[in-house]
Structure 1
Amino acid sequence: MNYRQNILAIGLILASFIFGTSCQQGKTNQNKLSSSDIASVQLEALNYADPTIFYHDGTYYLYGTVENIPNVGFEVFVSKNLQDWEGPYGAKDGFALHKDDVFGDKGFWAPQVFFHNEKFYMAYTANEQIAIATSDSPLGPFVQEEKKEISGPVRQIDPFVFFDDDGKVYLYSVRLQDGNRLFVAEMLPDLSGIIEESVRECISAIEPWENTQNVTWPVAEGPTIVKENGLYYFIYSTNDFRNPDYAVGYATSDNPIGPWEKVSHNPILEKSLVDQNGTGHGDLFEDGNGELHYVFHTHFSKENPKPRKTAIIKAKFETDANNDAQKNLVFDPESFRFLNYKK
């Protein structure tokens, strides 16, 4: 609730109280609500998995995997300050992307939204394949003139499109082969597909923290790539999302296709840092003041992974104490909070 709404709500309650008192002198005050009570009854938790926040022209747009309506598309919520969220405001019944307009009819997961060539793009997963749709607005509708996926030899999920300084564009994604493995490929200039011969494997889950249950199908997923001080940072999540040890780490490289070196202090976000199980698969973004945040999901509770809850935490790059040329990505546990929206 913003300042004006808060003042208005309090004023209305005071007015009704005064009116009621004058007409019914014997009526008690037991039903009177404080302003904090009013706010609390209007807020509800955002339960998006694999969330992403896109900032454009003074507004934040939140998208993610909609677990309670899994086979329709992607809703969108909006905020001016990262605190007060409203929606869903998607152009099609609250959905920014609806399955009627694009490739896929099930399994809509892990969207990413970006602005390119005067258009808004959404890269997403459906039917365990990757597709890209466009729109004239972050609210959608995101559509495809030709409803098709980006071709690949195996099932592939969790896209992240990265624009490098030299104009080249890269698609990072998960290929489902002998585990969830993270790959990169250079994209065609029109973003319609990838250059097949450029495909490289980047990261797989081979370290103890990345496979705490010693499963035969290890998981590395949820890529986000950023460039800081000439170095590429590959942020990713490991373990099955239902595992309480689902966590976030990163690797670095001086080249967008690798090779990638995992940092020794992984994981950088896990259950003990914020006292929540299943922390991971998010997106790093910059707010209107140039500060970094990571939006991600956690388990619903200690007992149940779903529906996953959407959370946010502040992030920054700190100079390494042992290497002035190296910066470490760190999260501030004191800033951790869940996101809620006004009904």
Structure 2
Amino acid sequence: MAGFAANPIISYPYTADPSPHQWSDGKYYMYCSHDKDTDVDWDMEDYHVFSSVDLVTWTDNGIAFRKTDSPFGKGALWAPDCMYRNGMYYLYYPQNSVIGVATSTSPTGPFTNAKQLYSRTDAQYVYDPQIFVDDDGQAYLIVSACMKTGGFKPVVCRLGSDMVSINQETILNINGGNFHEGPWMFKRNHIYYLSWGGGSCDYATSTSLTGTYTHRGTICNQWRDVNGNLIRGEQQHPGIAYFSGQWYFASAWGAPDNKRRQIFMQYLNFNADGTIQFITPDMKGVKAPELLITGGL
């Protein structure tokens, strides 16, 4: 029986922007951007998909999509997300200031037939797409928009049933905080949680999908190395998921710098009032889900 994972759970190839999912085959999947070995900037050229049966040991399934597969430019590929619906896997990705979508019949790709999905005339660029599905089954695209008037805004877009069209879009308002990039939304006890990265991973909550959201605090802005030393570090993109009765938080830390990153995973826990407990990731990582049931936390 598998024991604890060791952080980072994905150490090579260098990857960031984790998007964790569990599909109907029971396996866990992580969709990640890929930092090149010689990167001096965030200039990712492809996406890798990692899979696991226990959240402890992860397999690299290779390149699922290259920027040369995209029909609308040669720009870098930043944070992706994936969704399964209609018998198809949909890969959402940002490139050249727009959001694209490609499809595959396999969760690990290759993803093909890419097309442009979304852009904004009032934004310099939009990036870091995430797909959120509400309790009624309606799917939404969440993105960060860098506005031409200055600042970053979270935007929620209602997706059509075909998953490749936009029916409605709304800019979300947040009271407090400093929204930047890597939006990740989830729902717990009828409360919408909007988290984001860019320096630290912060979050805001609302009783309505379209807000207004209220900033609640920081989830993570540091980690503890193998010697127990606290290291401050930027967290560009949270990936939050609920598996087998437990919430999980994934993000990336620098290895050895913030241009060549590695993925860590830690438990995400809540206080009685619904606020999120601050996380200091360590090298221990998480247990396989079956151990949470038999052995507890």
TM over 0.5: yes
Distance in 1 (CA, whole Å) between partners of 2:129 and 2:90 is 12
Q: Is the 8 A contact 2:223 2:281 kept in 1?
A: no
- From 257, 275, 282, give the equivalent of 1:328: 275
Indicate the residue corresponding to 2:258 in structure 1: 305
Indicate the residue corresponding to 2:290 in structure 1: none
Q: Is the 8 A contact 1:248 1:267 kept in 2?
A: yes
Deviations 1:78-120 (A, max 9, x none): 2222221222x2xxxx211233443343311111112112211
Pairing 1:279–2:270 present: no
Deviations 1:32-86 (A, max 9, x none): xxxxxxxxxxx95452121122222232222211120745321122222222122
Deviation at 1:331, TM superposition (A): 5.0
Q: Within 5 Å, which residues of 2 pair with 1:127-206?
A: 127-144=96-113, 147-153=115-121, 154=123, 155-177=125-147, 178-196=150-168, 198-203=169-174
Distance in 2 (CA, whole Å) between partners of 1:46 and 1:329 is 31
Query: 4+ residue runs of structure 1 moved beyond 4 angstroms?
Result: 334-339
Q: Is the 8 A contact 2:117 2:166 kept in 1?
A: no
Indicate the residue corresponding to 2:40 in structure 1: none
Indicate the residue corresponding to 1:242 in structure 2: none
- From 84, 94, 101, give the equivalent of 2:57: 84
* Residues 68, 112 of structure 1: alpha-carbon distance in 2 compared, 3 angstrom cutoff: same
- One-letter amino acid of the counterpart of residue 73, structure 1: D
The gaps in structure 1 that reach 5 residues or longer are: 4-42, 211-218, 239-245, 321-326
The gaps in structure 2 that reach 5 residues or longer are: 4-9, 38-42, 287-297
Q: Is the 8 A contact 1:310 1:338 kept in 2?
A: no
Indicate the residue corresponding to 2:187 in structure 1: 227
Distance in 1 (CA, whole Å) between partners of 2:281 and 2:141 is 33
Indicate the residue corresponding to 1:243 in structure 2: none
- From 109, 124, 143, give the equivalent of 2:93: 124
Distance in 2 (CA, whole Å) between partners of 1:309 and 1:44 is 5
- One-letter amino acid of the counterpart of residue 283, structure 1: G
SS in 2 for 1:148: strand
Q: Is the 8 A contact 1:50 1:110 kept in 2?
A: yes
Indicate the residue corresponding to 2:20 in structure 1: 53
Identity, in percent, stands at 27
Number of aligned pairs?
A: 265
> Between Structure 1 and Structure 2, which shows a larger proportion of helix residues?
1
Deviations 1:107-141 (A, max 9, x none): 11111112112211111111221112221111111
Q: TM-score, normalised by structure 1?
A: 0.69
Q: Is the 8 A contact 2:224 2:281 kept in 1?
A: no
Distance in 2 (CA, whole Å) between partners of 1:314 and 1:132 is 30
Moved more, 310-319 or 220-229: 310-319
Distance in 1 (CA, whole Å) between partners of 2:29 and 2:276 is 24
Distance in 1 (CA, whole Å) between partners of 2:279 and 2:44 is 35
Deviation at 1:298, TM superposition (A): 1.6
- One-letter amino acid of the counterpart of residue 95, structure 2: A
Deviation at 1:235, TM superposition (A): 0.9
